[in-house]
Amino acid sequence: MAKQKTKFVCQDCGYESTKWMGKCPGCHNWNTLVEEMQAAPAAKRRGFVTSDGPRNVKPQPITKIERHEEARSSTHINELNRVLGGGIVPGSLVLVGGDPGIGKSTLLLQVSAMLSTNKKRVLYISGEESVRQTKLRADRLGIEEDELFVLAETDVAIIERVIDEVEPALVIIDSIQTVHLEDVTSAPGSVSQVRECTSAFMRVAKTKGIAIFLVGHVTKQGAIAGPRILEHMVDTVLYFEGDQHHTYRILRAVKNRFGSTNEIGIFEMKEGGLAEVLNPSEIFLEERSAGAAGSAVVASMEGTRTVLVEIQSLISPTSFGNPRRMATGIDHNRISLIMAVLEKRVGLMLQNQDAYIKVAGGVRLDEPSIDLSIAVAIASSFRDVPTEAGDVIIGEVGLTGEVRRVSRIEQRVMEAAKLGFTRVVVPSKCLDGWKAPSNIKVVGVSTVSEALEVTLGGKKSGTPSFEL
């Protein structure tokens, strides 16, 4: 009997080695290589083949290929439709990730019920719960649909056979780390199993035109567990963000072959499941304190949606040798950059000050247009001078202290006017080519110093000040 060969596979990046190593050469993480059996030869030949061998396909000129719009199925949940790009595309493979208890299974069960109500057959496959446990959750959500089928199974071969029998329009796999293929000798959840199982479901989705949702576990760092190739194989990657101890959840698209990326959907966790939040700006600003120093409002673009959020800053003298810089919802390096600009170009003495910056509401902001509002919030807290309650501050800050142009300024100003704000501070380069609404004043600024003069100038306090 031939000796069975083994290999060592990194559980984070999929790097393979013939011997064990403490540090993975691929991702440089420690203690991630696990011994696995070599895959059987039959498992390596899995692919889009027929009984007569590989299909006889020929390339064709791109000009000869017929173009047609993908027919989407509405989930009847507007926030989810927005994130998906308009609805579910038949034959698509969608990966949904998020922390435990964040609401992934709840949302997908609600989607299943919505589609079942509209006479579309749905197959919900759970590898972590029994059918009775799934039934209990469905009862809590008030779901009773004859077209919603539930199966507790982890064998991919059996799942494929059930899909052929049921012929659903949507299949949900909860979760991809629990299912396995008999041909692959490694344990469920390993790199080999996750890769081969995802490949099998991708083959089912593309050949049968069935939309498949995969639930993925996440690591301590918040990334989906398993190799990065998992995200490359699927058509859409959705991340559930938010704290499970708070009611609001953010569903963000980080990859979408059928729509725009970085779209977000806002949900509120209630007793009857997840309810969509149609106007998130009012939610993020409803608890804003009037007249508090260190607060500034910015209009941020999340995909095609404008969201107004509050940026809070607390600047206090340090008690340590090195001042602390802490940020929540914003990149830590961006805070250091903006504070350096305020020190060098404006004259704020922040070298002996601790800085704590937070985006209220739990949302995470990454776009450059939030730079100016961060700078104003820091200066407001340092001087202990509040900003005007009706101000919205938009702009990117350069290293020389200039305020740079941002995109979609008209859409941002319209959203601010709709919510009752009276003034918007924008880069002066953005004033041309459009007309502002009559109920809001638009002020253009060219430098950070000018922006601070407009928003905070002329107001006195007992704390150390700066000269403009």
Helix (H, G, I), strand (E, B) or coil at 128: coil
Structurally, at CATH architecture level, domain 71-277 sits in 3-Layer(aba) Sandwich (3.40)
Rg of the Cα atoms in the chain = 26
Whether 42 has a pLDDT exceeding 60, the answer reads: no
Q: Identify the H or E element spanning 57.
A: none
Q: Is 34 left (phi over 0), alpha (psi -120 to 50) or beta?
A: beta
pLDDT at 224: 64
Distances 1 to 36, 183, 400 between C-alpha atoms, Å: 19, 19, 72
pLDDT band of 304, cuts 50, 70, 90: confident
Residue 171, SS3 per DSSP? strand
Residue 173 contacts residue 200 (beta carbons within 8 Å)? no
More confident site: 409 or 261: 409
Q: Is the pLDDT of residue 83 over 70?
A: yes
Helix 131-140 with 104-117: angle, nearest 10 deg: 80
Contact 383, 323 (CB under 8 A): no
The SS3 assignment for 50 reads strand
The answer, yes or no, to whether the previous bond of 295 is cis (omega within 30 of 0) is no
Distance between CA atoms of residues 422 and 308, nearest Å = 14
Rounded to the nearest angstrom, the gap between the alpha carbon of residue 39 and the centroid of all alpha carbons in its chain is 34
| pLDDT bucket at 460, cuts 50 / 70 / 90 | very low
Confidence band of 43 (pLDDT split at 50, 70, 90): very low
Alpha carbons 231 and 216: distance in angstroms, whole number: 10
Quick check: 299 pLDDT over 90?
A: yes
Range in 185-189, 298-302, 329-333, 453-457 the model is least confident about: 185-189
Give the number of other CB atoms < 10 A from CB of residue 130: 11
User: pLDDT-derived band of residue 280, with 50, 70 and 90 as boundaries?
Assistant: confident
Tokens representing residue 448 in the block: 């950070």
Q: How far apart are CA 96 and CA 99, in angstroms?
A: 11
Comparison of pLDDT for 444 and 26, the residue scoring more = 444
The predicted model scores a pTM of: 0.77
Cα–Cα dist 391/425, whole Å: 7
**Residue spans of alpha helices (H) in 178-224:** 191-208
- What is the pLDDT confidence band of residue 62, given thresholds at 50, 70 and 90? confident
What's the mean pLDDT in 285-304? 86
Average pLDDT, the chain: 86
- Contact indicator for 84, 258 with CB cutoff of 8 Å: yes
**Residue (of 197, 226, 205, 227) closest to 46 by Cα position:** 197
pLDDT of 308 over the 90 cut: yes
Q: Is 244 within 8 Å of 99 (Cβ atoms)?
A: yes
Residues 158-190: pLDDT tens digits? 999 999 999 999 999 998 989 999 888 778 888
pLDDT at 195: 86
| Feature table: binding site | 98-105
Counting residues of the chain whose pLDDT is more than 70, the rounded percentage is 89
Residue 54 has what pLDDT?
54
Instruction: Tell me what pLDDT residue 374 has.
Output: 96
Question: Can you tell me the mean pLDDT for 202-229?
Answer: 80
Report the pLDDT averaged over residues 239-251. 78
Burial call 207-241: b when 16+ CB within 10 Å, e when fewer: ebebbbbbbbbbeeeeebbbbeebbebbbbbbbbb
Residues 396-436: pLDDT tens digits?
999 999 999 999 999 999 999 999 999 999 999 999 888 88
Rounded Cα gap, residues 84 and 274, in angstroms: 17
How many residues are there in the chain?
468
413's enclosing H/E stretch is: helix 409-418
The SS3 assignment for 93 reads: strand
On whether the 283-456 domain is CATH 3.30.230.10, my answer is yes
Instruction: Between 137 and 67, name the one with better pLDDT.
Output: 137
Q: What is the pLDDT of residue 13?
A: 77
Q: How far is CA 122 from its chain centroid?
A: 25
Q: Which residue has the tokens 């995969």?
A: 214
Q: Over range 141-156, report the average pLDDT.
A: 93
In whole angstroms, give the CA distance from residue 455 to residue 263. Answer: 31
Binding-site positions for ATP read 98-105
Strand partners, 445: 427
Distance CA 344, CA 365 (A): 25
The whole-number pLDDT of residue 250 equals 87
pLDDT at position 462 over 50 = no
